Amino acid sequence: MTEAEIRRAVDFVHAMEERSYTRTEPWRWGRAFLHEDFPVKWALNFLRVESDEPDVDAATIAEEAHRIQGGAGLRHRKIRVDDQALGERLVPGFRELGWMQERLLFMALRNPPAERPAIEVVEMTREELFQARMEVEMNEQHNSAEDARMLTESRVVTEHATNLRNLVGLIDGETAGWGELYSDGRTAQIEDIGTLERFRNRGVARAVILGAVDLIRAEGHDFFFLIADADDWPKALYEKLGFEPIGETYEFLLRSK
């Protein structure tokens, strides 16, 4: 079941990605996806490795990233490797080149808790969330005002690529945190879970995620997953909320000088 589930989750992500670019370019072991309107959004500008040939190596992949992403004027480099074994094999090579590595843990919903936090969860439009997201991008992520605006506005791309709903946790009527819910009628994913700093440690993320669970179950979805950083603390929260690891993928990242 787990192998079929990770394939289903990855296919869901791929389908969304392939509706979220303005230009794609083939390279030796895969394709590059680029969105020329939002160059600072790493998730919209990356190379995907689509081959598991024995000669796939980090140095050649990095050269292709510099050629394609550098040629597009991007300030970052990002590589996605969905094959777990290949990702593990590439880690030493990218580490030697000075790239960062992220293990992405796919987690599927199993048995969520029955208890719900006493926090209201509502749906909001992208426009209604704009200022709250700008606050996070500028004050917590330390982006420039220009980059923060571009990152916030880039969510329109995801809206066009999938059925996206913003689930928002309210405290005293004020936006405290949110999550983006993507779905196709059978499969659903929650992503971009965040809480404004002044509302942290009050159960906002928990409320938003469980609100999403209730919504997708009421709508008849039969598979719900999320993606966590395998080396960061939120995965422990997701496990408490009934999510179980089903597989890993890798990303290799470099901020260009």
Query: What pLDDT, on a 0 to 100 scale, did the predictor assign at position 257?
Result: 58
From 49, 79, 105, give the residue that closes a domain.
105
Residue 190 and residue 180 in contact, taking contact as beta carbons nearer than 8 Å? yes
Residues 127 and 77 in one domain: no
Considering its fold, how many domains does the chain have in total?
2
Give residues with Cβ within 8 angstroms of 256, minimum separation 6.
69, 70, 74, 75, 76, 77
Residues 66 and 160 in one domain: no
Percent residues over pLDDT 70 in the chain: 99
Residues 23 and 60 in one domain: yes
From 73, 105, 137, give the residue that closes a domain.
105
Q: What is the mean pLDDT of each run of 10 residues along the chain (257 residues)?
A: 91 96 97 97 97 94 97 97 96 98 97 94 96 90 92 94 96 96 96 93 96 96 97 94 97 87
Residue 101 and residue 88 in contact, taking contact as beta carbons nearer than 8 Å? no
Locus of tokens 């593990």: 88
- For 100, the enclosing helix (H) or strand (E) is strand 100-109
Domain interval for residue 69: 2-105
Query: What pLDDT, on a 0 to 100 scale, did the predictor assign at position 75?
Result: 94
Residue 26, Cβ density class (10 Å: 0-12 exposed, 13-18 middle, ≥19 buried): exposed
pTM of the full structure: 0.94
Residues 96 and 157 in one domain: no
Residue 204 in tokens: 């906002």
